[in-house]
Amino acid sequence: MSLIRRLRYRFMKDVGAPLLMGLSQKTRKRGARKPNPHFGPNLKNSRRLKEIMARHYFLSRYAQGAKPVAWVTSGAPVELLRAFDFYTFYPENHGALCGAQKVGPELCSIAEEHGYHRDLCSYARIDLGACFSGMTPVGKLPKPDLLFASNNICQTVVYWYKVLAYHWNIPLIIFDTPYNFEEITEKDTSYMVSQFKEMIPTLEEISGEEFNYERFLRIIRIAREASITWGKVLGTMKARPAPMTIFDAFGHLAPIVSLRGLPVALNYYRSLLGELEDRVEKGVGAIANERKRLMWDNIAIWYKVRDLSDTFAKHGMNFVTATYTNAWAETVPQLDTNYPFESMAKAYSLVILNNNLNHRLELMQRLIKEYQVDGLVIHSARSCKPYSVGQYDLKRLLMKRLGVPSVIIEADITDSRVYSEEQTRTRLEAFFEAMGH
């Protein structure tokens, strides 16, 4: 790592980023949006969230050469990398951001021009489009020294990272998590633990740092605490009215995905939790008139979050839980500093998408009961096969077992070209009717 780049990174972290955030706040104040009558007051912490994520992306521009940079999949055990002080960048989070800013189709098209089929995951196509063109709404992406992928969320991320590894001729470390067709076994766990131990010399070589066990334990502790706090944040939505909508949570998810294991994420969720608990105490709801409570299944439709949020709020319907946001609260709390590698193997291999569909069904049943859910909206996402294959049966079984009405929206996470406004409207109208509106 170069000394000049380190100094520049340090300067940007201590001086440049705070300055920029201050300027950005002033600009934002001038352009504040009108309040929407269907919603409660905005969350104060939303501003802080924007600052944290803007700072993260801003600093990523200066990380190259100052710190070892790793691109990491959202479900990978990043705690191990943090012990070597990697600057971690999350292409999936960047994909979501591009989707929300509605530049998904443009970046996907660039990847398609390079031969990547339109049927492929749109997070991957956005990322490849950004790599090939240098275009991104965040200014610049840091070139990685290492790629770190875990197939606990899908096999797709590994195929995608293989493309990146070849493109840049850099190492790709795969954390292989055997799929839990029935139950995770001790053999599975010991296989995963062996992989961690095999990774350490490679991480030492790339980062130029020795593995510091004490630091690793500290990171595990912070990650665990942040995940527990994130779970409590989500848990506030059990209250009636819920103090937040799941559409808010899709945004507030970013630190637990991208900054897991860092104090900034933990501090942020503590602050957010405080605000939400205060709202619950005062009976302040996220939407003005919460008549029905819904659950969301699958990743968000990033380019439609605002529209869908408005549509449902107008009908007095609030999304109070989602399998997606729950994923980062479900297993990471199992991290245990007494058995860091074993607990990390279990925490990361037991995530929703690495589990059989019975597990998902039971989880959804539990969430429906705990959050007093009246209806379910299922996003069938072309990009995400492990999340989507099985949803038709889930819908049928949840109706049969719990009598919960549901609707399936056929769409995509970031590629709006496959979204049919007409078809979605028709389906939602039928759903609203079934829900008694």
Partner 1 sequence: MKELGTRKDYLIEQKEKKGRKLFGVFPAQYPKEILWAMNVLPVEIWDPPLTITHANEHLQPYICSVVSLGLELIVQGKCDALDGFLFPHTCDSIQNLASIVYNYLGMEKPCYFFYHPKASSRDSSRAFYREQLTGLISRLEEQLGPLDKSELEKRVHQGQQIARVLRELYDLRARGELDASNAEFYKVIRSGEYLHPDDFLPLLEEFLSSAKGSGSSGKAVVLSGILPNPLEILALLDELGVRIAHDDLLCCGRRLPAPAGSAHDPLEALTDSYFAMPPCTTKNSPVNARINELLSKIEQTNARGVIFYIVKFCEPELFDVPQVSGELKRRGLATLVIDCEVNQILTGQVVTRVEAFAEMIS
Question: Minimal distance in Å, beta carbon 286 to partner 1?
Answer: 31
Q: Going residue by residue from 240 to 259, which x/- string records binding to partner 1, judged by CB under 8 A? A: --------------------
Taking the least distance from each CB to partner 1, the nearer of 306 and 366 is 366
Give the one residue of 388, 406, 416, 424 binding partner 1; rule: CB under 8 A. Answer: 388
Taking the least distance from each CB to partner 1, the nearer of 147 and 287 is 147
229 binds partner 1 (CB under 8 A): no
Taking the least distance from each CB to partner 1, the nearer of 10 and 396 is 396
Question: Minimal distance in Å, beta carbon 155 to partner 1?
Answer: 5
Taking the least distance from each CB to partner 1, the nearer of 2 and 358 is 358
Question: Minimal distance in Å, beta carbon 114 to partner 1?
Answer: 6
376 binds partner 1 (CB under 8 A): no
Taking the least distance from each CB to partner 1, the nearer of 212 and 423 is 423
Question: Minimal distance in Å, beta carbon 437 to partner 1?
Answer: 27
Count of residues interacting with partner 1 (CB under 8 A): 50
Segment 168 to 197, residues that bind partner 1, using CB under 8 A? 172, 174-176, 178-179, 181-182, 185, 187, 191, 194-195
Taking the least distance from each CB to partner 1, the nearer of 227 and 391 is 391
For 292-304, b where at least 16 C-beta lie within 10 A, e where not — what string? bbbbbbbbbbbbb
Segment 119 to 158, residues that bind partner 1, using CB under 8 A? 119-121, 124, 151, 154-156, 158
Applying CB under 8 A, the residues found at the interface with partner 1 are 114-117, 119-121, 124, 151, 154-156, 158-160, 162-163, 165-167, 172, 174-176, 178-179, 181-182, 185, 187, 191, 194-195, 198, 356-358, 361, 380, 382, 385-386, 388-393, 397, 410
